Every structure is written in C-alpha cells, then in structure tokens.
Structure 1
Amino acid sequence: MTILLTVLGIAVFAVGLLISIAWHELGHLSTAKLFGIRVPQYMVGFGPTVWSRKKGDTEYGLKAIPLGGYIRMIGMFPPDAQGRIEARSTSPWRGMIEDARSAAFEELEPGDETRLFYTRKPWKRVIVMFAGPFMNLILAVAIFLGVSMSFGFATQTTKVAGVPKCVIEQSQNRETCAKGDPVSPGYAAGLRTNDRIVAFNGKPVKDWSALSDLIRKTTGPATITVDRAGTDTVLHATLVSNQVLAKDSDGQAIEGKYVTAGYLGFISASEIVPLSFTDSVGRMGTMLEDGVDSIVALPSKIPDLWNAAFDGGERKADSPVGVVGAARISGEVMNLDQPTQNLIATLLFVVASFNLSLFLFNMLPLLPLDGGHIAGALWEAARRNLARLFKRPDPGPFDVAKLMPVAYVVAGIFICFTVLVLIADVVNPVKIS
C-alpha cells in the first residue's frame, strides 16, 4: 500500500507539472498569435515526439521527457548589421550568435516577413515573453486562494491542548518539571485541556496571535474567560515573567531568539482554519516575498547542497529541491496519516509552490530565460526613446543574439546547479516527515 500511495502521489505531481508547463506555454502562444507572430510549434516536454497534430500553421504535441516545454516563434532575433540571416565565422563566440540567428529563421516561409517576433514593438514582445510566467503566477494564486479559503491551514488557536504544571524557560529545552520550578500560572488558575480562551482581562480574543500579544504584555493578576463545554467560566491567574521565543513582524516564533515576557502557561491547539480572502492574499504576499528571498539566496545554498549530495551532510528543510525532489515529497505526502482532504490540500499546495517558483525563476533578467528577452525588449525601447528625444537616428532593434554566448554560460550554470540538486534529491532527499 505504501508503494501504491507513493506512486499515486508522484503521478498526481506529474500531471500537475504537465498542466503547469502547458499553461505556461499557452501564455506565450496565445499572446504571440494575438500580435500576429507565426508559431510553428507548441510542445510540452523535450526529446522524441510522442504525439502531435497540426492545426492551422502550428504543430501541437507532447514529447517523451515531461521536464519543460517550448513554443517556436519565427524571427526571435533580427538580421545582423549587414542584413544577413546566416554568416560564417571562425570565432566560436561569433558562431554561437550566428547559429542562434539562423535557427530563428530556419522555418521562414513566403509571407512571414510581416509575422516575425523581432519586428513587433517592444511592449508587445514584453507581453509575449511575460505571458508565460504570468500564467504560472495566475495558477499559483488560484490554487493557493482556493485551498486557503475552502480548506485552510494548520493554525494555532486559543484552544488549550495542554497545561504545563510548572514554569520552564523555553531556552532550557526540557518538558519535565525540576525541583524548585515555580507552579505554572495557568495550572494554578485551573486551566484545563480543551478549554477555549475567549477573553483576556475582559477583552474578547478570537485568534492565537492576539491572545499571545496580550499575555506577553501582562505580568501580575489577570482574568481568563474560557469556554468550557459550552459554558463561559472566569479564571483568575497571576502571570509571571519568563524567557520565551521572540516573535517576528508576522507573529511567527523566531527559533533561538528569546525575550522576557508575560507567561500564562498553556499549549495552544492547532486546528485547520480556513482563511478570509484578505488573510489569504496577505499570506500569498508573504509567500512571494519568501520566494524572492529564496531565489536571491540560491548561491549561498550550494555548499550545503554539495555536502548533502557527496559528503553525507544534513539536507536542510529549506534546501532547494528540483522536479525529482518535489515528486518524492508528493509521494511522501500520500503516506501521511491524515484525512484525505488534508492530503489533497497539501498536494495542491505543492503544485502551487512549484508554479510560483516557475514565475520567479523565469523573471530573472538573464537569457535564455523569459526575463532575459523582456530585458532586451525594454533596453531597445529605452534606446529608441532616447534617440527620439535627442533627435538622433533610430538605432533599430536590439540584437539579442549578441548575448547568446552569455546565455550559453548562464544555461551551463543552471544545468550544473540542476544536476547538483538532482543528485541531492536522489541520495539525500528533503523529507517532510
């Protein structure tokens, strides 16, 4: 059964991956056709073609390796300064440029002169290249909002899951009371498991964050109103100071950092709580910020990845994962001892996170990524506007093909990083359990 569930989880992720790739390429395809650019191919996957069908002037198909996709647009790069599409050069760097230029025109047909990508205005090219990543962002937001508003997330609540008998500094990292530990204020006040705190010092509280803030600001006598089996009961406690984990601006505990604050002494229960639209959007914004931070931090993760892959080092929870790692996580999710709706929500969240990563990664202003083409179009627009402002001759289209040697270097770095992540995902995977 474990193997079957693992395979099912991997299969669900694979389907989500294919949909995400097809959805991304559909953004490029639809906007390219909208602006009259000829698109000979729309393919999901790489390698040998498994299935294809031609409709109009575009061939639609699936390829054997479902790890990406592409569309082919005619005239991605302009002719060179002499108006040549093909040229011969003994320089390897110049050869890369001319090979890329030739490939952009290899399927040129009569009448395509008005359907070339590079002849479109820069703002149209920006839209075509941005449309792919933007489709991934739309899918990520739609899935995330759907999951958070209909299902929700495990959230700390004001319900009591347990009451420690004594006061222990959190930095001591122990659960057993020692001789001399003072009695916990919550235990002394008669707080019980399954009580739900509804007011603190007469002030109604509906969520853990608000209650936690009130408790931390209080030392000395306080009244605690609890809902106990449907009846409100007022308890009287004398709060004390204690060393507790500090909280960040989002109200999350900061591991390893402690502050002195008021202490009541109870363990809050976690429950699956649906979020409002406003809270869901706020949480999505936090995910975007975290995603940007993760992209920026990728180079710093390489040493830990190398140690995890080749030296048996610890694979940290925030370590980058690739497609194989995400598939393994999906398989592991299906073996968790949780209700089916929890498993479905978690798998959907994995797919949403993957789409968010696709959006952020593709927006890097580097060729061969979509962001590189966007940067080229924006630079062309800036050059032409400056020339018009200073009444100089139009400099013409920016020749993105000249950046192909850099693109090959960037692609080589990405490939090496991808291989490193793949090895780590196989020999030392991230485990959610």
Structure 2
Amino acid sequence: MTILLTVLGILVFVVGLLFSIAWHELGHLSTAKLFGIRVPQYMVGFGPTIWSRKRGDTEYGIKAIPMGGYIRMIGMFPPGPDGRIEARSTSPWRGMIEDARSAAFEELEPGDEKRLFYTRKPWKRVIVMFAGPFMNLVLAAVIFIGVAMSFGFQTQTTEVAGVQQCVISQSEKRDTCEKKDPVSPARAAGLQKGDKIVAFNGQRVEDWSTLSNLIRKTIGPAAITVERDGTEQVLHATLRKNMVAEKDSNGEVVPDKYVPAGYLGFAASTEIVPLSFPQSVDRMGTMIGDGVESILALPSKIPDLWSAAFGDGPRKDDSPVGVVGAARIGGEVMTLDIPAQNQIAMMLFLLAGFNLSLFLFNMLPLLPLDGGHIAGALWESLRRRLARLFKRPDPGPFDVAKLMPVAYVVAGIFICFTLLVLVADVFNPVKIS
C-alpha cells in the first residue's frame, strides 16, 4: 500500500509539473502570436515526440522527457553585420554564434520577413520573454493564496500544550531536568496544560507572536491572565533570563542560534489557522523574498551538496532539490499518516513552490534563460535611446547571438549543477517525515 501511495504521489506531482511547464510556454506562445511572431513549435518536454498536432502554423506536442519545454520562434537573433543569415568560420566561438543565428532562421518561409522576433520593438520582446515566468508566478500566487485562505498554516496559539518542569538553556538541547536546574517560572506560577493566555502584564494578546515577544522582553515579575474552565484568573510569575532560540525579522526560528531573553517555560499548542487575504499576500511576499535569498545562496550550498551526494555528509533540510527530489517528496506526502486535506494542501504548496522557483530562476539575467533575452532587449532599448539623445546613428538591434558562447558556458554550469542535485536526490534525498 505504501508503494502504491508513493507512486500515486509521484504521478500527481508529474502531472502538476507538466501543467506548470505547459502554462509557462503558453505565456510565451500567446504573447508571441499577439505581436505577430510566427511560432512553428509549442512543445512540453524534451527528447522524442510522443504526440503532436498541427493547428494553423504551429505544431503542438508532448515529448518523452518531462524536464522542461519550449516554443520555437522565427528570427530570435538578427542577421550578422554583413546581412547574412548563415556563414562559416573555423573559430569555435564564432561557430557557436553562427550556428545559433542559422538555427533562428532554419524554418523561415516566404512572408516571414515581417514575423521575426528580433524585428519587434524591445518592449514587445520583453513582454514575450517575461510572459512565461510571469505565468508561473501567477500560478504560484493563486495556489498559495487560495490554500492559505481556505486551509491555512500550522500556527502556534496562546493555549498551553505543556509546562516545562525546570529552566534549561535551549542551546543545551536536552529535555531531562538536573538538580542544578531551577523550577520553571510557569510551573512556579501554577500554569496548567489547557490554559489559554489572554493577557500579559495587562496587555491583551490574541496570537502567539505577540505573546512570545512580550515574554522575551520581560525579565522579572509578570502578571499572566489565563482563561481556565470558562473563567479568567491572574497568575503571577517571575520570568528568568535564559538562552532561547533566535528569531528572524519574520518571527521564524533561526536554526542553531540562541540569544538571552526572558523565559516563562511552557509549550504552545498548534492548530491549522486560515489566513486572511492581506495575511496571505504578505506571506506570499515573504516566500518570494526567501526564494530570492535561496537562489543567491546556491553557490554556497554546493560543498554540502557534493558531500551529501558523494560523501558521508547529511542532506540538509534547506538543500537544493531538483525535479526528481520534488517528485520523491510528493510521493512521501501521500504516505504520511495525516488527513487527506492535509496531504492535498501539502501537494499544492509543493507545486506553488516549484512554480515560484521557475519564475525566479528564469528571471536571472543570463542566457539561455528568459531573463537573458529580457536583459538583451532592455540594453538595446537603452542604447537606441542614448543614440537619439546624442543625435547619433541608430545602432540597430542588439545582436544577442554574440553572447551564445557565454550562454553555452552558463548552460554547462547549470547542467553540472542539475546532475549534482540529481545524484543527491537519488542517493541521499531530502525527507519531510
């Protein structure tokens, strides 16, 4: 049964992956056709074609390897300085440029001269290249905000789930009290499991974040108002200074970092709480910020990733995960002993995170990514504006093909990184259980 559920989870993720890729390419396709650019192919996947059908002047199809997708547009690069579309050179770097230029025109048909990508104004090219990643951002936002508002997040509350018996520095990472450990302020004050803290030093509190911050700022006497058996009563505690987990600006615990702060000594209950629309949007913004930080931190994670893939190093929770790793997580979600709605929510959050990653990754200003073509169009627009400003001749289209040697290097780095992540995902995967 576990194997069946795992396979089901993987299949669900693959279907979501294929939809995300098709949705991305639909953004490119629709805007390209809107601006009159001919698109000979719209394909989901790579490798051998499994199915295809031609509608109008575009072939739509599905390929065997669900690791990406593409649309083929006519005239992605302008002709060379001599006006020629195809040339020959003994230089390997020059050959890369000429091969890319030749491929951009290999399906040129009579009448296509006015349907070439490079002939469109820079702002139109920016829209065409941005539309793909933008579709992933929209899908991620719709899924994330929809699930956040309808299902919610596991959230700590002000209800007491348990009382600590003694004061132990959290940096010691132990649960057993020793004779030298003083009694916890919560226990000394008579706090009990099931109590709901409604006020701290006279200030009403409705959420854990507010209560936690008040506790951390207090060392010494404090009045704690609790709701117990339907009535409110005030308990008096003397909070102690203790080493507790550090929190970041978003209120999240920072792993393995501790700071001195006020300590009461109880565990908060948790429950799944739906968010309002503004809260969901704010949480989505935080998610985007975390995603940007994760992408910028990728180079620093390579040593740990290498150790996890080829050595004895552990696979960290924040380790980069590829398509195979994400599919395995999807399979693991279906085997968790949790309610079905929790599994659905986790799968949707996984898909939202994947789409957000596609958006952020494709926006990097590097060829062959969409962001590289966007950067090229913006640079062309800037230098043409400068030429008009200084009354110089129009420099013409920016020849993005000249950057193809750099694109090959970038693509090679991406392929090597993808293979490294793949090995780690297969032999030392990230697990959520």
TM tier, smaller: over 0.9
Could you report, residue by residue, the CA deviation over 1:323-349 in whole angstroms, capped at 9, with x for unpaired residues?
000001111111111111111111111
Counterparts of 1:258 and 1:409, CA distance in 2 = 42
Shift of residue 239, structure 1, vs aligned partner: 2.2
Using the alignment, how far apart are the partners of 1:285 and 1:70 within structure 2? 28
What does 1:394-433 correspond to in 2, within 5 Å?
394-433=394-433
- Alignment partner, residue 161 of structure 1: 161
Amino acid paired to 1:302: I
Task: After TM superposition, list the pairs within 5 Å mapping 1:316-331 onto structure 2.
Answer: 316-331=316-331
SS of the equivalent of 2:52 reads strand
CA distance in 1, matches of 2:88, 2:216: 73
Q: Distance in 2 between matches of 1:175 and 1:92?
A: 64
Note the C-alpha offset of 1:251. 1.8
TM-score, with length taken from structure 1: 0.97
Aligned to 2:225: 225
SS in 1 for 2:156: strand
Write out aligned runs for 1:378-389 (5 A).
Answer: 378-389=378-389
Provide the rounded CA distance (Å) in 1 between the counterparts of 2:257 and 2:219: 21
For the residues of structure 2 that align with 1:345 and 1:202, how far apart are their CA atoms? 38
Q: Is the 8 A contact 1:243 1:260 kept in 2?
A: yes
Task: State which drifts further: 339-348 or 168-177.
Answer: 168-177
Aligned to 1:246: 246
| Partner Cα distance (2:271, 2:377) in 1 | 49
Separation in structure 1 between the aligned mates of residue 312 and residue 416 of structure 2, nearest angstrom: 19
For 1:197, give the aligned amino acid: I
Aligned counterparts of 1:166 and 1:306: Cα–Cα separation in 2: 42
Please give the alpha-carbon distance, in whole angstroms, between the structure 2 residues aligned to 1:180 and 1:419: 52
1:217 deviates by 2.0
Question: Stretches of 4+ moved more than 3 A in 1?
Answer: none
Aligned partner of 1:47 in structure 2 is 47
Counterpart for residue 192 of structure 2: 192
- For residue 308 of structure 2, what is the aligned residue in structure 1? 308
Corresponding position of 1:170? 170
Q: What's the offset of the Cα at 1:221?
A: 2.8
After TM superposition, give the deviation of residue 222 of structure 1 in Å. 2.3
- The match for 2:109 is 109
Partner Cα separation in structure 2 for residue 84 and residue 129 of structure 1: 25
Give unpaired runs (5+ residues) of structure 1.
none
Distance (Å, rounded) in 1 between the aligned partners of 2:347 and 2:86: 48
Corresponding position of 1:93: 93
Q: CA offsets per residue over residues 87-131 of structure 1, 9 Å max, x none?
A: 111111111111111111111111111110000000000000000
Aligned residues: 433
Q: Quote how far apart the aligned CAs of 1:374 are.
A: 0.5
Return the offset for 1:252.
2.1
C-alpha distance in 1 between matches for 2:309 and 2:170: 34
- Structure 1 CA distance, aligned partners of 2:344 and 2:228? 33
Q: Alignment partner of 1:183: what SS?
A: coil
Question: What are the Cα deviations for residues 339-362 of structure 1, in whole angstroms up to 9, with x where unaligned?
Answer: 111111111111111111111110
Query: Could you give the per-residue CA deviations for residues 110-161 of structure 1, whole angstroms, max 9, x where no partner exists?
Result: 1111110000000000000000001101111111111111111111111111
What is the identity, as a one-letter code, of the residue corresponding to 2:142?
A
Q: Deviations over 1:221-245 (max 9, x none)?
A: 3222222243323322222222222
1:268-296, CA deviations, whole angstroms, 9 ceiling, x for partnerless residues?
11211111222212221111111111111
Match of residue 357 from structure 2:
357
Give me the whole-angstrom Cα distance separating, in 2, the residues matched to 1:214 and 1:388: 60
Corresponding residue for residue 128 of structure 2: 128
TM-superposed deviation, 1:314: 1.1
1:167-193 CA deviation, whole Å, 9 max, x = no partner? 222222221221132222211222111
Distance 1:227 1:398 in 2: 69
1:332 is aligned to 332
Q: Is the 8 A contact 1:5 1:335 kept in 2?
A: yes
**Aligned equivalent of 2:180:** 180
Contact 1:312 1:428 in 2 (8 A): no
Q: Which amino acid aligns with 1:11?
A: L
Alignment of 1:202-213 (within 5 A): 202-213=202-213
5+ unaligned residues in a row in structure 2: which ranges? none
Q: Distance in 2 between matches of 1:78 and 1:258?
A: 57
Q: Deviations over 1:56-91 (max 9, x none)?
A: 111111111111100010110111111111111111
Q: Distance in 2 between matches of 1:98 and 1:328?
A: 41
Instruction: Please tell me the residue identity of whatever aligns with 2:183.
Output: V
- Percent identity over paired residues: 80
Where 2:297 maps in the other structure, the secondary structure is helix
RMSD: 1.2
Query: Which amino acid in 2 is paired with 1:189?
Result: A
Instruction: Output one character per residue of 1:33-73: Cα deviation in whole Å (capped at 9) or x when no partner.
Output: 11010111111111111111111111111111111100010
TM-score (normalizing by structure 2): 0.97
For residue 313 of structure 2, give the secondary structure of its aligned residue in structure 1.
coil
Residue 34 of structure 2 aligns with an amino acid whose one-letter code is L
What CA distance in whole angstroms lies between the structure 2 residues aligned with 1:241 and 1:392?
70
- In structure 2, the residue matched to 1:13 is 13
**CA pair 338-246 structure 1, distance change in 2 beyond 3 A:** same
Aligned twin of 1:287: 287
SS at match of 2:282: helix
How far, CA to CA, are the matches of 2:299 and 2:244 in structure 1?
Answer: 33
Contact 1:136 1:355 in 2 (8 A): yes
Give the Cα separation in 1 of the matches to 2:17 and 2:415: 19
In the alignment, the residues of structure 2 paired with residue 229 and residue 36 of structure 1 have an alpha-carbon distance, to the nearest angstrom, of: 70
Structure 2: distance between partners of 1:178 and 1:98: 75
Report the AA paired with residue 80 of structure 2: D
Amino acid at match of 2:184: S
Letter aligned with residue 299 of structure 1: P
CA distance in 1 between counterparts of 2:332 and 2:209 reads 31
Distance in 2, matches of 1:286 and 1:245, equals 21
